[in-house]
Amino acid sequence: MRCIITVAALLLSCAALQAAAATYDYKKLLQMSLLFYEAQRSGKLPSDQKVKWRHDSALNDKGIHGEDLTGGYYDAGDFVKFNFPMAFSTTLLAWSVLDHKKGYEKANALEDGRKAVKWATDYFLKCHVSEFELYGQVGEGTVDHIYWTLPEDMPYKRNAFMITAKAPGSDLAAETAAAMAASYLVFKDVDSKYASTLLTHAKQLMNFAVKYLGKYSDSIADANKFYMSSSYQDELVWGAAWLYRATKDKSYLDIINKYWPVIMYWDGFDWDNKKSGAEVILYMTTRDDKYRERVKSYCDNTFFKTPKTPKGLLLTNAGGNLRSNANAMLVCSEAANLGIEASSYRPLIKQQVGYYVGDTGFSYVVGFGNKYPRYAHHRSSSCPDHPAKCGWDFFNSNTPNHHIVDGALVGGPNASDYYFDTRKDATHNEVTCDNNAGYHGVLVNLIELEG
């Protein structure tokens, strides 16, 4: 009897664990997330575009001297190309393709993953017009946010803004260098010529970042209102970490050793804080236990000391919580892959993703499941097709969005698990490229782990 009870108890324990961490179709979710990035494309759309309700837009995006700046991704529900968070999203996309090729192949999504990365890097190559000149923004939030319309119908001139030696942006230059270095690793065995070009620009941009110190948002005034940078030291470490991984050039370790002590206790990971993500890359490439200890401290604090909503979502940020939660889950997923508390972290990561996609009876991923956001704060999917008009009257109406922006992760519920599906709440219902970036990487981890 004692053996039977023990086995029964074990079975009940396993059943309870499975109930607490339900498995979802992560392959479909990854495919949908790639569709979201298609929906965010700016410029001339390719013939193989899957999101058919989007069309060519912003074909006149030009630099100060007439440079072609078409392409790239719209930032969020608006149509500004904020290169700082775009570069961060690109680095994470490239990271996921680089280290989780098997997961992409299982989801039949590897080619689409590479295309998502290249859509951004093609644009960044256009933006880096000379060694110490990098465009960092096209369009202005202060102007763009006056209108609620389709990207094909933008009624205003889009100005472009750059960083230079006299108006530096170490954070922007280093983050773009990270994106290009990570993308070099993605493409070096696929298209060596293209990869070599990316690496050349990555090296130049990292040199730019180190030689002319300063925050990009002090140089680009409009960015200061929407994506104000708090520091540049973390991007210097992050960019150097990726370049060290790409080249094994020890000069990048010199940069890291200079700036990592400055940021050592700045734990976190998002578009404005690269510290904990950088430490994962550094532990991967150096196996130095000081990085392991900081990553473990970050993940332990996240999982075991962070307050939760009543239904179990870790409250990693007061507003737009799913983005910061997903970024933390990415860091801890990659930490687990490096042998850091894998058996403890992985079930908890799976539980958090379950909250995003349906454990509460509601999916915060647009288009997934039976109940999901119908009023995402997202202009292009909300507006009706031509010849119907869009505008603030539609924004304020009770009409659901006309198109489904498949795969987009909204900001999510508040600390009490309360969520109201309305276009009027950008904090909890806007979708952004960097909302999806960390979440996207966690999905491909789960695909590999679920076999």
**Catalytic residue numbers, as ranges:** 78, 377, 421, 430
Tell me how far apart the alpha carbons of residues 354 and 349 are, in angstroms, rounded to a whole number. 9
Between the two ends of the chain, the Cα-to-Cα distance in Å is 36
Alpha-helix residue ranges (DSSP H) falling in 164-220: 170-187, 192-211, 216-219
Q: Which among 274, 265, 270, 273 has a CA at the least distance from the CA of 294? A: 265
List the Cα angle 178/356/435 in 5-degree steps: 30
Q: Burial-class residue 256 by CB neighbours within 10 Å (0-12, 13-18, 19+).
A: buried
Tell me the C-alpha to C-alpha distance, in Å, between residue 441 and each of 131, 132, 225, 393.
31, 32, 28, 37
- Give the Cβ contact number of residue 412 at 10 Å: 26
Tell me how far apart the alpha carbons of residues 80 and 73 are, in angstroms, rounded to a whole number. 9
* DSSP track, 362-405: --SBTTSSSS--SS-B-HHHHSPPTTS--SHHHHTSSPPPSS--
Q: Are strands 160-164 and 128-130 parallel, antiparallel or unpaired?
A: unpaired
Tell me the CB-side half-sphere exposure of residue 295, using CA atoms within 13 A: 30
283: its two tokens: 């532990």
Tell me how far apart the alpha carbons of residues 176 and 348 are, in angstroms, rounded to a whole number. 32
